[in-house]
Amino acid sequence: MSEHRPVLVVDFGAQYAQLIARRVREAGVYSEIISHHASAAEIDAKNPLAIVLSGGPSSVYDEGSPTLQEGILELGVPVLGICYGFQVMAQALGGDVGKTGLREYGATATRVNPALTPLFAGQPEKQTTWMSHGDQVQSAPPGFQVLASTDATAVAAFGSEDTKMFGVQWHPEVKHSEHGQGVLENFLHKVVGLDRSWTSGNVIAEQVEAVASQVGGDLVICGLSGGVDSAVAAALVHRAVGDQLVCVFVDHGLLRSGEREQVEKDFVAATGVRLVTVDAKEQFLGALAGVSDPETKRKIIGREFIRTFESAAAEIVAKAQGGGAQVKFLVQGTLYPDIVESGGGSGTAVIKSHHNVGGLPDDLEFDLVEPLRTLFKDEVRAIGRELGLPEAIVGRHPFPGPGLGIRIIGEVTKDRLDTLRAADKIVREELTLAGLDAEIWQCPVVLLADVRSVGVQGDGRTYGHPIVVRPVSSEDAMTADWSRLPYDVLGKISNRITNEVPEVNRVVLDITSKPPGTIEWE
């Protein structure tokens, strides 16, 4: 995946394993996630610079609870244990872990001792940390100093300078721990002695070299969606191989206002990439006629996309072969979370199958070029900016592959798409004007096409559709909360939509978290 030696995050089933890996990278150090099933030999083969043991939902005393594989702590590699990983580490090294009946959840006043350890260097002795535990470390392992405590937990952190092994009971990776990132950075930079070598500039240089070596003199195609991942992947590959790359953009008619223009004008102007646009709006609308079931809509959109892309790819291949060239490679904007969640993270559970281009069939017979497969979304955005991509693309909120087709509750028609497009444009404009784009993860706008409500507009009775506005805040979309937008912004959005979109007479705000709700409605 990368030539960098990694800091390995051992995943004990933590909700925040990916977040830990991201925080390590924010400290300028490359990280990878590995399952707790990995043996000492497998970990040693990766030649890690350090190991971080994640939290997890289990108790170290539960039958079948995750354990640290034998020999890992004898590899001579610096280790930081977090929450459950702290307790597993304590138990493995000869400390005592038990149930005292004193549990700590949420913000907790914690006392640390900066004078004893570089782990807390430059930090106040009293700080707020984020706890989530029922078991407690009751005594530190032999040779380890107690470095922190709370009113309920006598051993809230421990460490050994000689072995460079440390542990904390709290979650330094979450922002609720006010000095959490400082703890991680002190471990990486002061304890382990690592420098800040993982930067977007280094990633670009490495990937340009790797892609050029992989592709050689052959042609490459890329399915552009207009989203961040495919756009940055294409820009990186274009930086490496120039006009050997041909991008295909399928306009299925389910795009938001201005998105085709962003790709055809702004993206091409910024990169100089060769672009083929396929107008397939009528094809998709015809296939979706009469269909209301969301899963059926998804399958139809995916099927028609595959057919359209296959046809465009076949034309590109035919033209290339006519000139003697070979099209051997397909670019995908696969990210590191996609690899982890698809079971590619060295034994992690499969959360979802993944294919960025919509599930292209194997008989296309292209080798994959995946220049972003080591990266998280925030890193991809940083690289996109460094490559000179427009902010309208780089800063774009996540948008589902099936597009507006799954933001219309009911049958997808041209008129309904036009209505939703107009409302969505207003929401995006007002969020941008208010400077809120960076504060929310995304803001789906949903048309309840099969619902009508009574309204009064222009001294007359109306019977229009409701629009749902769904602003959410999230770290990684695995969990999310609704964003508390200012009332005046919500008021402007509602007034503009009901004034400017004739088919809509009511705007509602979705204030459901995830769980129990999903971010998208379908």
What span, in angstroms and rounded, lies between the C-alpha atoms of 80 and 90? 11
Outline where DSSP puts E strands in 113-162: 126-139, 145-149, 157-160
**Cα gap 22→198, rounded to integer Å:** 12
CA 93 to chain centre: 35
Task: List beta partners, residue 249.
Answer: 224, 277
443 is catalytic: no
Q: Which of 26, 32, 173, 259 is catalytic?
A: 173
Question: How is residue 90 annotated by DSSP?
Answer: H
Instruction: Label residues 21-59 b or e (16+ Cβ within 10 Å = b).
Output: bbbbbbbbbbbbbbbbebeeebbeeeebbbbbbbbbebe
Sign of CA dihedral 147, 132, 181, 344: positive
Helix (H, G, I), strand (E, B) or coil at 69: coil
Tokens describing residue 304: 């028609």
Angle CA 212–217–219, to nearest 5: 95
- Report the 10 Å Cβ neighbour count for 86: 26
Closest residue by Cα to residue 379 from 30, 33, 34: 30
Look up 238 and say whether it is catalytic: no
Options 26, 83, 252, 430, the catalytic residue: 83
Report CA torsion sign: 208, 214, 218, 224. Answer: negative
| Structure tokens, 340 | 């982890």
Asked whether the beta carbons of 149 and 102 are under 8 A apart, the reply is: no
Is the distance from CB of 36 to CB of 88 less than 8 angstroms? Answer: no
Which residue among 36, 133, 171, 465 is the active-site one? 171
CA 474 to chain centre: 9
Q: Measured in whole angstroms, how far is the alpha carbon of residue 263 from the centre of its chain? A: 22
Residue 390 is classified by DSSP as: -
Task: Check: CB of residue 373 under 8 Å from CB of residue 229.
Answer: no
Q: Is 222 a catalytic residue?
A: no
How far, in Å, are 86, 253, 408, 420, 501 from residue 415 at the CA level?
57, 12, 11, 9, 12
| Residues classed as catalytic | 83, 171, 173
